Structure 1
């Protein structure tokens, strides 16, 4: 040997997996001779067909085979030293260090081999002392099985008893067959899981057995290919999957159905690791092409690890009975047109009160690039139950690859009257600009977006058939602090204090426009419909009584902000909204629905020419709090309440909006003199010379001025010696009298007379 070997603490065995190409394999332990390296291929020792290099080196060496081992085969290299004494030290002879070290190295190498072999043997725990583990004589142990007695010592048992017991106090002995049948395995029925063999019949047989026995079924590691749809009966205790089902069966059918339909209640089930992959990507044309169909589950826990390649990835189904009060843990839901479909099939079924955790809803960048895709859909068959209530999603992730494409990639699609759908801490990547599309009367949805590639402007899309303002978006992405605020557009905290008596019969209110349900003539623009005051308003101690088709509302600029919330203190108010375009022309229902409300439908009133709520705003009807969304066609809106079916007292009105906007409240403008208690006007005037003690007058036109109003007058120049007095002698005119109180004639220069009227 060229050098002295150093024996390190390295296991004298190493194993490789063949790939069909590799022929050279290293061994990291030292050997003394090439003949001391043993090579095994798939456990069988080879006597030739390879060469060994590196014998005598402390770092090991290399084994080279003449032919590469097949893919998947095992190649085992281990050191096998002959245990023999090949040298002898002579009495009084020379004891060389190298010779002594070589002998000691062989001893250490042999001990390493023994330790390696003993590591795979049955042995007593080092913490235990004593015990009887000596085998009985051959005749005493023939045709018997080894076991352990109550003290843990070795004992032989009659072979025909077939009983075993768990090594714990109080354990009851029972047969091996019973032990193995505690949980069924798909492999017990012939399933291979090699990804090639047809495992469908074996899987279905295993599922049928689980249903008959009421036990859970284990589908172990591997890929189980099936060309037939599979069904796990509802009587089974559950399904545990560590591998995956590869569905290669006909389209238009669920690949895996779990649970019974009809009146069955599949309660208290535990399904974990569910993984169903379609062998070929679905064309997304057939909605019967479903990965996992879960029927009528109640009080169950379901974990879906992965479902991929279907038109609908997962469908939870109320079918004859309901799907309710369960928890779904969601993993990767990929390349499905609809990731999760919350569905009902009959009028007597329901789908409600479900908790969802996680879920990565994704579509690949090359998958059906011309087709819409959705993460979660709420749907129902024709005539089925549609009130899907209280579904809570925690931290779902949507990566739909639709941004910048002429297709829809939207996390939520709501086609029913779902209520209280809450999605928290969502992520939107590559989606279109809508967090949800509502096509029906969905309401009370809250979508909290923690991150979105779209930035701030994430909205809810309300289709033309939608009859509710279905929810709210809380876009926290770089705007959390700002989002937690709301912006007050206008407030009239006391209608009684805000009342303005325009004349003997007409009353108006600060900041508010007065409306009538029956405007005479041919009104067409905003100014034809809004008035500073009207008759038939009856003031009370705390507010105003709306009678005779009267209404009050705020006029707001809706060009940028389309979302508002109206708060009302009244007995039973009725919501009304009038809509106008950018030229102040009235918008009718010819453009379709222009207004959506959160808690009720909004209908068009052709006589009053406004949109009004279908019901009063009451606590009993769950319609007291109303949020509104206006169509993009609306540039100006009048938002308020009206008397529709009965008189009622109105005491306070407040209007709020999304804090991203600060829309203008339109009142008291030169071309819109409504809702303002103070009226002002001015007139250029060159007064004549006024004799001592004399006076002169000038009339200043001021629309809205009525006898009995408070009035003031002033002049733009110095008026030493003159007193300006004002009064309203006739409607819409303020008479200003200038009295010369000095003892000499007074000649004022030309200036401007200004008057101010305060309505009572």
Structure 2
């Protein structure tokens, strides 16, 4: 620098109010380098968006913003130096004037900053001797207000008088008013020890919250009450960190929130509600309610506990509706009805609600002869009955009724004409085998069961008063993949009707390949394993019994479809799958795990040369509904059932897949004769002259033809009185006879003889 910087007696700060246009602001104090500048915009540090000129000049310099600060912005420019030594003088070294001046200038600039900071602090006047300014000890000043005594010394006072919050525009108010902004139960004398009767104190707190429109907090602890409690809808809301223990009269609501009449209780939050009955209800009085919620609209309600009542929670539309709110449910236990969704009057609807979670449970020893429900839709006589659009997400039900046929333990009970009730991801543990019980005109209900101890053996129970089939049941437990496959690939709705005589001793079935577990060692292709008929099948009035070594399966083209769902009506069938490549050559376990099932393991049987299920497909073991997934190496497959352990009857079989694909079912083809009772063949024939009353004969090869099969023949040209007859003269051969029934000889032109054979 050409001239050494001079530190004048000037404050190291400057203030501006921006006009929205100005971008350059000067600072009159010197700095050593651009980084010594600190900038505040409305008290907020600004660390970029500007450049600094003038470092090293005694008279300061200019700060330039890239964009002009908005009009009215308070811009503060400060010098802020690091408190550190910048030089170190060496013993017996050269003491240069410039170095010494730099060090002294830096110290002087730092002292100016200290003086500037001290000027804005609370301090004694220079004319006063320093005394009495030490704060009292921590214990003495805790929970007190600081002030000054008659001598002007620091002291402490009780927290009383008028306070003003440290914010612009704050309203001065008393400490009592400040503390009363949120009311707590303990402000009114509630103890929360589980022994003291806190009912009067709690009701006083609720009355105060309602009359003043304040928010009420019930703190930690157990608050015992011998009286029912009610919180007006005028209160701003409620949070419970503790719980209510109700020891009052039966047949009443332990805690009522919201008003009746035409008052709408809207946009409120009620959190952490916990209410338990001191002694469990006898479940006879349905006005015995734990938490009663009335006339709510767009509210948020969290119920952590409702225990021991006839009705755990009741949402009630009185003269106004109960609607468009969210209820978050916790433990709803030991109640006859966990949640009662109810209407009280014709104008008090209950609709468009969302319920999240909820563990509805009953102890196994509690009232073992009485039925119980998780959720009920109900209405008082003459009240609104079209409850609609209630959505439940992930409720769990443990109702302890599975092995008690004399009682009902069902997640949902609809006694009204409810509409569009949707429950997703239900868990049913120890319930009756019904997801719902409809006793009236419920409609458009959807119940999705994610897990159930009954697996997919579930239903909806319709009472005598139910006039509509109002429910869709989706049992996903152990069957989710199976139920998604809706495109039918192959169907044999009656095995008995599909059976036909392939030969005198062999039986075949429409659309199905007959399978054997002891195919000869030379078998290598699909045609070697898909038989059109086999011996030993035993036909019954409704199906076929599979004996040892026998099976039935669908043959599919799997080059596009990879997954198939097999449905079988049979007595404990066993799943089997055979895999083939694009040339229809058998694939063995040497190619790896080529196939998997959704609910069991598949293992390779070297003797049968197929993959077979590790267990029978039964309802009791939740293995009946299986989806088969084939690896990409599998181009064709046989998917079916076989007799592995004991003989069993098969009555119907269906195969489905993803609707996105439509794979071919292979049967009745020239290279795959299985699955079709109808065979066809044709041959060219230039018949000789047939004398009057005479015949001519042609043998047409037809693989699969057996004596006794029904067969027909036709000629492609006009026959002029010549009748064509057909019969199976020998195995695999159909003899066609042309009989001239006229009184003159007939010479037919060359044509085609067509043969059709049908197995009976």
TM-score, length basis structure 2: 0.48
